[in-house]
Structure 1
Amino acid sequence: MIFDIWKQIKAKQFSSLYLLYGPEAFLINETKQLLINHVLNEDGIDFNLSSYDLEETTIDAALEDAETFPFMGERRLIFLQNPVFLTAAKTKEKVEHNLAKLEAYLKEPSPYSIVVFSAPYEKLDERKKITKELKRKAAILEAKQLNEGELKAWIKERSAYNGVEIDAPAMDLLLSLAGTNLFTLTSEVDKLALYSGAEKKIDEESVEKLVSRSLEQNIFALIDKIVHRSIEDALRIYYDLLKQNEEPIKILSIITGQFRLIYQVKELARRGYGQQQIASHLKIHPFRIKLAAGQAKLFKDEELANIMKLLADADYQMKTGGMSKGLLIEMFLFRLNDHV
């Protein structure tokens, strides 16, 4: 649905009304930018682009603008931010909206304006008449968190937009290294496309070489070495982190968080939860749950319990000043070798 709407916008097949809603800010911002680029010409942007915050401005004022003829262009483009009247949220409204005016506009939208409702809410109140009417009339983009399949479709689409192809192993590695944040993924795909050369292909080798690693991703690599019993490699990564002036207490916190996740995934899977259910229960992206589930299979219950105890001991000593902070993680990794 996301890509369908974007294709229509790029083909200049516009709707008079758009409803963009959901918590994924990147998708909403990207859609807005596409509309600006394809609806307005450069000369008309200053005259025909408007944005209203409906927590501060009445819907009447915004719709008056929508009913005004465009100047130096064919259409007006009007963004209506934070339409709180579409939600069930109890808010202290600063303005009073004339929803009857909006209902009348929805029945007969201006032919020379495109009105975009931008609602950064998880859910809309489907019981409200105005919500039902808007959803019936508008082109809708639900900006929700993408699942693994949708993320891969996104990466493939973004690569194609840059005129390059990306293979499946490269996509898997990119998601592992860059995570699931769309702002980050877009930046990395654009960079990889720029360096793809004459072949116009992104492969696993180029991802390994060029994708930036956050502290969390470097520690993920460290944990991956631990779960595969490569303690020497884990120590090498840890020493590199120290050379980058990363704080041992932060490193320990992220290691602990990942092993806690592995433990939780293993326990919930034993209770019969599927990966999607676990992701929903823990409020963590399904792709991270999938990776943790794979890691959980490499540990027995008692091994994970011992690791959690070692981490708790290291955390206590780090906070009470019992030993050098840097040395504590090194000792944890050495002791871990005896337990895994």
Structure 2
Amino acid sequence: MDYKQAMKSIDEQKFAPVYVAYGSESYLIEQFIRRLTDKMIEPEHLDFAVSKYDLNEVPVQNVIADAETLPFMVPRKLIIAGNAQFLTGSRDSGKVDHQLDRLTEYLGAPVDFTVLVFTVSVDKLDERKKLVKQLKEKKALVPCLPLTAEELQAWVRRQAKRESLELGDGVVDQLVLYTGGHLQSLAAEIEKISLNVGRGGTATPELIDSLVVRSTEQNVFILIEQVVQLRLDRAFALLEELLKQKEEPIKIVMLMARQFRIMLQVKELSKQSYSHQQIAGQLGLHPYAVKVAEGQARAYDVEKLSRIVSQLADLDFKMKSGGIDKVLGLELFLLGLAA
């Protein structure tokens, strides 16, 4: 079942005996477990009704034994078993001996007083495995994958509404861009902004600039966006800000090269009619990052992008060999890019 269906069933008090919440969007996995806990377990029963295991340390047969044990002083219990790597294509480290036949047997006749949740932080399970096929047949798989660009924008608006926060023009895209589209960061920043402006207040682009914490990678991402839009004053202000923060110019060049390579790859894959989700999967990126890179790449043809990547490689060599002042080299590159 998909994520929305699973959450709807939980809200209706319809609990499956086993779930596998998997995906790289850890915030959705956390929200899924929180909703399940809130709907299943009374607050006063939490200490006796909820158990957590790390499958890197505990064999799955021990988890099944707990699931089959009658609950103590509570009507039902919730068991959460993390790091279920045996459902993926990754190699078994051999640290823990998982007797997967016990899980297969349990799936055939699960008890009615336990809900068992497996979690694993991968976007794809190994569907060649008999166990994964069995879980799929039981409709136990709940993908917690990165949202599409459109879903992400809608999610930001819903989250802001919950916080009674008004969003000014362009703020939704700005928030997503500044946080890299990660839900955990978005939720934290929206809450922080709401506390700053108060209930019913409005978040403006200027406020986002001053409040939202950005990584060096995100700042470089934004810097390139300013250059593409020919907003050179903003681009140089961002560069100055990065240098004041003692960021190494060579690191900035490396991140620029990475972004332009992404733009080149996205442009090539888009020509082959790949969707944003497919490109994100191919390149290991967030779908929103693909959307932005695609927009940035429209300003250049493939030949120009290839030339820029080559120029950045040359600049990197000159910086490391002392052939050019690092800051001057960066500034000249940005001016040449805008020209």
Q: Give the shorter-chain TM-score range.
A: 0.7 to 0.9
Structure 2: how far apart are the matches of 1:50 and 1:242? 48
Structure 1: how far apart are the matches of 2:10 and 2:164? 19
Structure 1: how far apart are the matches of 2:42 and 2:87? 31
Structure 2: how far apart are the matches of 1:153 and 1:267? 28
Indicate the larger mover: 116-125 or 85-94: 85-94
Structure 2: how far apart are the matches of 1:88 and 1:310? 39
Larger Rg: 1
Superposed CA deviations along residues 38-60 of structure 1, whole A, max 9, x for unmatched, are 43344433322222334543433
**Structure-1 residue corresponding to 2:66:** 65
CA pair 220-70 structure 1, distance change in 2 beyond 3 A: same
Superposed, which structure 2 residues align to 1:73-222 within 5 Å? 73-91=74-92, 93=94, 94-97=96-99, 99=101, 101-137=102-138, 139-164=140-165, 166=167, 169-199=170-200, 202=203, 206-222=207-223
Tell me which stretches of 4 or more aligned residues in structure 1 moved more than 6 Å. Answer: none
**Structure-2 residue corresponding to 1:238:** 239
C-alpha contact 1:275 1:290 (8 A) present in aligned 2: no
Structure 2: how far apart are the matches of 1:213 and 1:92? 36
Does 1:28 find its partner at 2:26? no
Structure 2: how far apart are the matches of 1:218 and 1:82? 32
Secondary structure of the corresponding residue to residue 299 of structure 2: coil
CA pair 200-47 structure 1, distance change in 2 beyond 3 A: same
**Structure-2 residue corresponding to 1:314:** 315
Indicate the larger mover: 314-323 or 117-126: 117-126
Q: After TM superposition, give the deviation of residue 98 of structure 1 in Å.
A: 5.6
CA pair 226-122 structure 1, distance change in 2 beyond 3 A: closer
Superposed CA deviations along residues 290-338 of structure 1, whole A, max 9, x for unmatched, are 222222222355654553444233211111122332222123234445x
**Structure-1 residue corresponding to 2:265:** 264
Structure 2: how far apart are the matches of 1:179 and 1:62? 36
**Structure-1 residue corresponding to 2:50:** 49
Superposed, which structure 2 residues align to 1:2-13 within 5 Å? 2-10=3-11, 12-13=13-14
CA pair 62-259 structure 1, distance change in 2 beyond 3 A: closer
C-alpha contact 2:61 2:98 (8 A) present in aligned 1: no
Structure 2: how far apart are the matches of 1:233 and 1:95? 56
Secondary structure of the corresponding residue to residue 45 of structure 1: helix
Superposed CA deviations along residues 13-64 of structure 1, whole A, max 9, x for unmatched, are 4333222123333322332233334433444333222223345434333222
Match for 1:213: what amino acid?
A: R
Q: After TM superposition, give the deviation of residue 78 of structure 1 in Å.
A: 0.8
Q: Percent identity?
A: 37
**Structure-2 residue corresponding to 1:330:** 331
Aligned length, in residue pairs: 336
Q: After TM superposition, give the deviation of residue 171 of structure 1 in Å.
A: 1.9
CA pair 309-60 structure 1, distance change in 2 beyond 3 A: closer
Structure 2 alignment gaps of length 5 or more: none
| TM-score, structure 1 as length reference | 0.83
Secondary structure of the corresponding residue to residue 119 of structure 2: strand
Say what the alpha-carbon RMSD is for the aligned residues.
Answer: 3.1
Secondary structure of the corresponding residue to residue 170 of structure 2: helix
Match for 2:97: what amino acid?
A: V
Superposed CA deviations along residues 167-226 of structure 1, whole A, max 9, x for unmatched, are 783322211222122221221222233335342665656544532232223222322232
Structure 1 alignment gaps of length 5 or more: none
